[in-house]
Structure 1
Amino acid sequence: MERNRSRVSMWCECVEPARSASYMRCPMCPISVLPDSGVGLWAHGSSWSGTFALARQCFDRPIPAHVARKCADLLRSGGLPVLLALSTRDWQVARQVCLAPAFRDVLRWRHWTRIIAECFGRGACLLSFPVALYVVCFYTHLMLLYRSGPHDHMMSPAFQASLQGGLARITLGQPLEVAYGSQVTLRSAASRPIPCWLQSRKANYPVRYDSGRGSSHQQQVTCHHLKDVNNWWIVKNPSRAELSVGRPPHVVRHGDVVQLLHGMTSRFLNSHDVAAPLSPHAQEVSGYVDFNVSMHVQNLWKVDIINRVEDSQVWKTIVSEVRLVHVNTSAILKLSGSSLPDWAEGHAEVVADKVKGHKGGTTWTVEEHRYGTGKEREPQLYSSTSFDVERRISLWSKFIELQWRMLTVKQEDVEHKYSSTPLEWLTMDSNIVYWLHPCTNAQIHLIGNPLLWGVAKLSLLTYLIMAAIYLFRRRRGIIDLTDDVWERFVSVGVMCVGGWLFNFAPFVLTDKRLFLYHYLPALVFLHLLGPVLLEHLHAHVLSKDQHRLMLLVCAWAALACAFLSYCAFRPLTYGSPELSADGLRALKWRRSWDILYRWSESPERHAPCGRTALLTNI
């Protein structure tokens, strides 16, 4: 070793060799000496197929045969990738090679090239591929699930209009461009998860609010969560009296000033310097009633299209997101987020507020739209509208909106039937019913395999107890495990127990509605812990063959029971085979499980769908 170190100092000027069992490393460059194999040069990540060409470049002559054999032997023995290996008697040549500027430059170039290549490779594998897989999953989701569902209202009208059966059925064929004389419904973009529409009705604000402040006593304007005829407004040209769309239609553009006339009560949308019912810092919004008092009409609103492409952008159905700016006071029509008292039947408060920027509640979208004819207005408002599905938003826009809704949407205050708490996940007190056959007892649940979930919890408990015992004994100087085995035991805990905590603990701290499927990522780590713990007990804890044999028998028995449990619960997890009501009752191992079943007077034969009684076993 000492002789090799002296030889290294002759051919590597920057050397300060580091002692090791198998090599001495130069700290200044990616070169090492292999004392047990003579003098050797190697670099991480180098392929030995290009070794000889590099050496020819530096030597300016072919590589000796015994050097090539030495390289091949080192590679076949499982050593690190070899750049150049020389026998002990060739150390003078090695010195010339190491001192050659070309050789050192090539080494440094390859070193940085390898680092850059690894960065790109790891970035592609760890970032690009997961992101691509995530996008592909949602692409498939949006392509296959193109019909309307019960929670479409959480999405924008443009998103809903692209789905079959929901808003698309209502808005199919309606005009795209809003014109003077158009009859529209205005939906607030801030009403999530339950939508609401700008509404007025034949009811006035109370003379005095509950706080003692006075009001304008004019007609109420609110935001209502139900669709009815009171949601319709007529876009009127302030300079003309007509309430019908001209030929050709005079479209409304960004920056135009309009009046909004309520369709059923013929009151103009108005605002004035009177404090709002629940938001005294903002102005009250009302349907103007002329009481012959010193409160003049102020019913002009400027259309501000937020997502416009150009300043002359046309106001469009579904697509355009607009702010309505009060001309007299520069206040913006806004959904405040507060619910009004009983005198307004709990409707949401609408105000005019002087806010800056595109803050929440100030954006409105035309959802339903028709061109008014000016004759028999009330029958028109009661008739159904019929957005051209070809004008729907792109798939990429859907993807971005869906991610934003997932991050920002607020859940309803009411409890979901199948929601659960993290403690119930550990005790298996909850399940989720996904599907129930309309005529038979076939059904699909999200429910865990009781035995596998029990083994997972037992593995966690066993590991924690063993870790506590090991630490207590090591503190007292009693070493039960060698350093290698102890490091492996700790690494298992960091990965499995740490992974379980990392995926489980955030749900304990969150106040959002939770379901059983939120626990599945954490459960995977406990399933990984079980086999590793079994191997540790067999190899390092149990010393007698009889005890090891008993452990193996218990392990095989647990696997057999897990398989039997899978077979027993397969009708609930896969919906097949169908079970009778008594068979379903037998699978109800926990009183909290919600298992649905049907019964008929004749147990041998299922009753017809229309005459079957549906029972929820609670």
Structure 2
Amino acid sequence: MSTGVASQGSLRQRNVPGGKSTTPAPAVPSDNAALESIARERAQATKSTSSEASYWAGFVIITALAFVTRFWGISHPDEVVFDEVHFGKFASYYLERTYFFDVHPPFGKLLFAFMGWLVGYDGHFHFDSIGDSYIANGVPYVAFRAMPAILGALTVSVTYLIMWESGYSLPACIIAASLVLFDNAHIGQTRLILLDATLVLAMACSLLFYIRFYKLRHQPFSRKWWKWLILTGFALSCDISTKYVGLFAFITIGSAVVIDLWELLDINRPGGALSMRLFIKHFCARAFGLIIMPFIFYLFWFQVHFSILSRSGPGDDFMTPEFQETLSDNVMLANSMTIDYFDELTIRHKETKAYLHSHPDRYPLRYDDGRVSSQGQQVTGYPFNDTNNHWQILPAELGAEHKLGRHVKNHDLVRLRHVGTDTILLSHDVASPYYATNQEFTTVSLDDANGSKYNDTLFEIRIEHGKKKQEFKSVSGHFKLIHNPSKVAMWTHTKALPDWGFRQQEINGNKQLAPSSNVWLVEDIPSLGEDDKRRVKVPRKVKSLPFLQKWFELQRSMFWHNSRLTSSHPYSSQPYQWPLLLRGVSFWTNNETRQQIYFLGNPVGWWLASSLLAVFAGIIAADQLSVRRGIDALDRRTRSRLYNSTGFFFLAWATHYFPFFIMGRQLFLHHYLPAHLASCLVAGGLVEFIFCAEPEPENPKPVKKAAPAEPKHFVPARERYAGQSLIGCWIACGVILGLAIAGWYFFLPLTYGYPGLSVDQVRQRKWLGYDLHFAK
């Protein structure tokens, strides 16, 4: 190219009107050389245009097929399927403006609500049970399912663009995109009202946008440079604003940015050393674009969430009374009553919903581990309303009848009398049945409570976020009951006591006061008559809270409940099972037609991608070992692409896969979808490395260094494969594509839910013992 430009400049100089040639060489040979150079440039430009056209043709075909495979038969089944009971319900709540609680951030659910709003749906159907009919309830379910289907189809397109923008050959682009295009798991997850289509597309866009940003590294702080930096941050924000596992994309991009900044810091870098002032400018720009801006976008979706959900709803119980006062029609606040001394109360644990309960039976002398109890009266958590749940709240001072009719207030010392057995609640320095470090809760007679054990019967009412001398109220007054002498909080958990405790919940004293699991509330005041003036409902004015206060409270609740998702599930799976596709998930069945939707990837594609991940790791290890022994098997350009480009995709896979091994929550196969997409990118890059790699010339001709500029599009066929045949790569592409299509078609009935299969047909698809229905 530089030679051609120089030749054209010579021609222009000789053809200046009235000018004389200053070139000493003979005219004819010089003209011939210039003409040959121009001819070569035109030939290369023609080839470039032809190559780019082939890439665009592949892109259009891949995108069209993505929409076909995602929308084909999307109206079947016309019933609620699997987790549509959650995310369809949330969309309805948005449209009704009814407050709900979910452990996932709002962005993905807002998209569903937006689609419902577009088609004029009012949110009347609440997706209560799997199998409920959409047709009978007049739900525009196809419109809802169309949203993830569109996003899923675009994910295939973005996968293709990632490979194209990274400079890979056309076969490599087709391989990577087709492994996603014909994957049954990606198709199945994007044809239903689920969040993963949004999550995976945002993750893929973050990779694409960062690649576009990195290609402009020689044009820092230009408009395009800023554009792709901000778009990368926006994609990352959409990722984490859909599910918190979107944090893994931040780790991927963050790792690449750290490596990039480390290279910029090198005083011997090829482009020249940067001053520390300019380096700090680079650092601050990336921090702004990839941390601050994503956080602002993240907050924005919560602001939209709070603005829409202005009415009281099923999510109220997860929030504090102060938060609930910001919601109109809040039943809790309408039913709350001021608590007076000597009232009879029913006290309920906020999280487990168990009532504070006691009965005449006593703790056993010895527990199973040999520890000795006090043999005191049992105090337990009971799930049902019962007269043994009634407790009378008494002032701390003995003989304080003058406090009759006085309000109980925050930080007051009180005592609780169990009405059924006429005993006083007590905690003392005796180990509880299940926790040797926690104190036992029991009750004692009035004589003992008013005598030697008086101090052990004193408890402090500590209202959550309460002010000094704030009145203690039923329902709305969430509180912790703190044992005054020992400063432990009354606490319960879901593990049932043995038979001697009637399988009820243990109540004990927790030394850790901060956890929200110590919170209780007074559900009712049974001693009040129906006509008592305290039961009169007074209209309450809706209050407001600062956005950040509401946001912090919701974040705490979301993280806590997310961490509690540890119970077993019949279709949960472990991370080590995902790459080999050892287990799927049953989404829906129809006994009459023998139809079923079983969430499962395309085994051919998954096993190929997983195998190539191992191959990539082996190649890197072998190359490093060879270099250490002085054997340089790869040329500079091939090694650079293998490490920097395919290595980046491998990094994306690793950061989206390995963190799941340290998670304690329920995990399912769909958690692997972002990592699977990254493995498809690795597969495309590695197939090119194996079949299409072109060695770098041993003695390249010196070329005049010019200021680097971003090409409009990568045209690998011209830049990297000039004069080289891609027959091997195309053959590999054809074989892989054929196998992927065969696997997709074979498992198609399990992905699309039709047609129904016979017993033999179901058994044929139990490749690794998949727990399919109708196999007998």
- Whether the TM-score (by the shorter chain) exceeds 0.5 is yes
Does 2:520 match 1:342?
no
1:157-556, aligned counterparts within 5 Å?
173-180=334-341, 182-188=343-349, 196-206=354-364, 217-224=375-382, 230-236=388-394, 250-271=406-427, 276-277=432-433, 284-289=440-445, 299-308=457-466, 310-326=467-483, 329-335=485-491, 340-352=497-509, 355=511, 358-360=513-515, 363-366=518-521, 368-370=523-525, 372-373=527-528, 396=551, 399-405=554-560, 408-409=563-564, 411-412=566-567, 415-436=568-589, 444-468=597-621, 470-471=623-624, 474=627, 478-508=631-661, 512-540=665-693, 548-556=726-734
Pair 1:559 & 2:723 matched:
no
CA contact (8 A) 1:302 1:324 kept: yes
Inter-partner Cα distance in structure 1 for 2:591 and 2:465: 45
Label 1:225 to 1:411 Cα distance change in 2 as closer, same or farther (>3 A). Answer: farther
In the alignment, is the contact (CA less than 8 A) between 2:646 and 2:686 conserved in 1?
no
- Seen in structure 2, the aligned counterparts of structure 1 residues 595 and 241 have a Cα distance that, compared at 3 Å, is farther
Do the aligned partners of 1:432 and 1:446 also contact (CA within 8 Å) in 2?
yes
1:335–1:351 contact (8 Å) kept in structure 2 = yes
Q: Contact (CA 8 Å) 2:348, 2:355: kept in 1 or not?
A: yes
Counterpart-to-counterpart distance in 2, 1:282 and 1:587: 55
Determine the structure 1 residue equivalent to 2:231.
none
Following TM superposition, by how much is the alpha carbon of 1:273 offset from its aligned partner in structure 2, in angstroms? Answer: 6.4
Cα offsets for 1:89-113 (capped at 9, x unmatched): xxxxxxxxxxxxxxxxxxxxxx999
Deviations 1:517-566 (A, max 9, x none): 23223222211112222332343269999984243133134224434544
How much does 1:351 deviate?
3.7
Whole-Å separation in 2 of the counterparts to 1:487 and 1:535: 14
CA distance in 1 between counterparts of 2:764 and 2:558 reads 38
- How far, CA to CA, are the matches of 2:421 and 2:587 in structure 1? 46
Aligned-pair identity in percent equals: 23
Q: Does 1:128 align with 2:292?
A: yes
Higher strand share: 1
Asked if the contact 2:320/2:478 (under 8 Å) is kept, the reply is no
**Residue 510 to residue 202, structure 1, CA distance change in 2 (3 Å):** same
Name structure 1 gaps, 5 residues minimum: 1-42, 49-110, 377-386, 597-614
**CA distance in 1 between partners of 2:602 and 2:770 (Å):** 13
Q: Distance in 2 between matches of 1:443 and 1:138?
A: 37
Shift of 1:567: 5.0
Q: Shift of residue 405 of structure 1? A: 1.1
Question: C-alpha displacement at 1:425, in angstroms?
Answer: 0.9
How many residue pairs align between the two structures? 468
Equivalent residue letter for 2:583: S
User: What is the TM-score normalised by the length of structure 2?
Assistant: 0.49
In 2, Cα distance between the equivalents of 1:440 and 1:536? Answer: 48
Larger radius of gyration: 1
CA change 1:322–1:568 in 2 (3 A) is same
Aligned-partner residue type, residue 372 of structure 1 = S
Alpha carbons of structure 1 residues 286 and 471: separation in structure 2 relative to 1, 3 Å: closer
Equivalent residue runs for 1:31-70 within 5 Å: none
Shift of 1:174: 2.5
User: CA-to-partner distance for each residue in 1:436-465, whole Å, 9 max, x for gaps?
Assistant: 569866654432122321331232233344
CA contact (8 A) 1:187 1:364 kept: no
Equivalent residue letter for 2:644: S
1:40-81 Cα deviation digits (max 9, x unpaired):
xxx986989xxxxxxxxxxxxxxxxxxxxxxxxxxxxxxxxx
Taking the aligned partners of 1:367 and 1:438, their CA distance within structure 2 comes to: 47
RMSD: 5.3
Aligned partner letter, 2:762: R
Whether the 8 Å contact between 2:354 and 2:384 is mirrored in structure 1 is yes
Long gaps (5+) in structure 2: 1-217, 224-274, 532-538, 696-720
Letter in 1 for 2:686: L
Q: Distance in 1 between matches of 2:599 and 2:506?
A: 41
Contact 2:656 2:674 in 1 (8 A): yes
Partner of 1:588: 765
CA offset digits 1:293-336 (Å, max 9, x no partner): 9865664433122421x212222445544232445x35434337
